[in-house]
């Protein structure tokens, strides 16, 4: 099935609720993502970030409300056809086999975790994997196997895998998990690179930390207790008052040279 995925609106969630075992996880979630936007979603543990990401990845359906992805509404579209246009970067990627970097990238073309049985990649698949390995600085380790890779190398490999199928939407689920400072910075540089190499690619990144926002971030969504507390252009949303409200803690926010940082707000001394 061939889908028309040319809609200028990549994500459109309207009054979405989600319940699990009589517990309401999301309440009245509404936001819209335009093609080429780069969104970040922040909030404390249990705020509902993973649930929203699952909705945006066509993995689950809302209890009420509507979710449109690339112009197609969940419940009215063939899911497998839609998912082919969504790349997903999950640092908890589970492999049973010690695949090489090249092989892992190729699984992004086949849409599988492992390589399909009794199947061999052809010249086109191998060329695509080599192209992405080169783009993301993996060419020299293309033959290295997953268990031997550093966390940073794994992160870049998973981004290459997500790009292998030429997605319209890229979902990044806490991609900096487990990385040291140097590896985190390399990963963020890689994500920023995509805004230049793939200018029409739309992304949604989930994180807990302002330090993990790429410079290319255009919009932000703050979430608390299953509700959106603020959403819009990143410089309007990532402010001390908004972040403090979402995390229920007094936080000072600093924006310098395109990057963000946060710390507990100091109590003002009486003059």
Torsion on CA atoms 64, 66, 69, 75, rounded to nearest 10: 70
Residues 153-167 have pLDDT tens digits of 999 999 999 999 999
What are 264's strand-pairing partners?
A: 251
Please, where are the H alpha helices in the chain?
Answer: 49-56, 79-83, 101-110, 123-135, 151-163, 181-197, 234-237, 240-247
Which residues neighbour 213 within 8 Å (Cβ) at sequence distance 6 or greater?
40, 205, 207, 220, 234, 238, 259, 260
User: Mind listing the pLDDT tens digit of every residue in the chain (271 residues)?
Assistant: 688 999 999 999 999 999 988 899 999 999 999 999 999 999 999 899 999 999 999 999 999 999 999 999 999 999 989 999 999 998 888 888 899 999 999 999 988 888 888 888 889 999 999 999 999 999 999 999 999 999 899 999 999 999 999 999 999 999 888 888 998 999 999 999 999 989 999 999 999 889 999 999 999 999 999 999 999 999 999 999 999 999 999 999 999 988 999 999 876 555 5
- Return phi, psi of residue 184, to 5°: -60, -45
Domain 1-85+168-181+199-260 architecture:
3-Layer(aba) Sandwich (3.40)
Residues of the chain with CATH 3.40.50.300: 1-85+168-181+199-260
* Displacement of CA 231 from its chain's centroid (Å): 17
Which residues neighbour 77 within 8 Å (Cβ) at sequence distance 6 or greater?
3, 69
Q: What is the DSSP letter of 269?
A: P
Nearest Cα neighbor of 85 from 201, 196, 191, 210 is: 201
Helices 101-110 and 151-163, axial angle in degrees (round to 10): 30
């Amino acid at each position: 099935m061939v889908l028309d995925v040319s809609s200028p609106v990549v994500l459109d969630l309207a009054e979405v609720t989600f319940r699990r075992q009589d517990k309401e996880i999301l309440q009245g979630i509404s936001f819209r993502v335009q093609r080429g936007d780069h969104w970040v979603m922040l909030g404390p543990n249990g705020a509902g970030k993973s649930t929203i990401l699952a909705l945006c990845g066509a993995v689950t359906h809302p209890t009420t409300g509507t979710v449109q992805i690339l112009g197609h509404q969940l419940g009215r579209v063939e899911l497998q056809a839609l998912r082919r246009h969504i790349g997903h970067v999950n640092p908890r990627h589970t492999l049973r086999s010690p695949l090489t970097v090249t092989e892992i990238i190729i699984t992004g073309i086949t849409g599988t975790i492992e390589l399909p049985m009794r199947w061999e990649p052809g010249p086109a698949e191998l060329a695509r994997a080599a192209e992405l390995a080169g783009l993301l600085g993996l060419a020299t380790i293309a033959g290295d196997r997953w268990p031997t890779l550093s966390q940073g190398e794994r992160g870049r490999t998973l981004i290459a895998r997500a790009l292998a199928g030429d997605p319209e939407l890229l979902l990044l689920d806490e991609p900096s998990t487990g990385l040291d400072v140097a590896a985190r910075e390399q990963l963020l540089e890689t994500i920023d690179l995509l805004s230049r190499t793939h200018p029409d690619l739309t992304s949604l990144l989930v994180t807990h930390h302002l330090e993990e926002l790429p410079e290319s971030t255009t919009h932000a969504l703050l979430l608390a207790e299953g509700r959106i507390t603020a959403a819009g252009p990143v410089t309007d949303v990532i402010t001390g008052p908004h972040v403090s409200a979402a995390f229920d803690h007094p936080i000072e926010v600093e924006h310098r040279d395109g990057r963000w940082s946060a710390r507990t707000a100091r109590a003002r001394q009486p003059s």
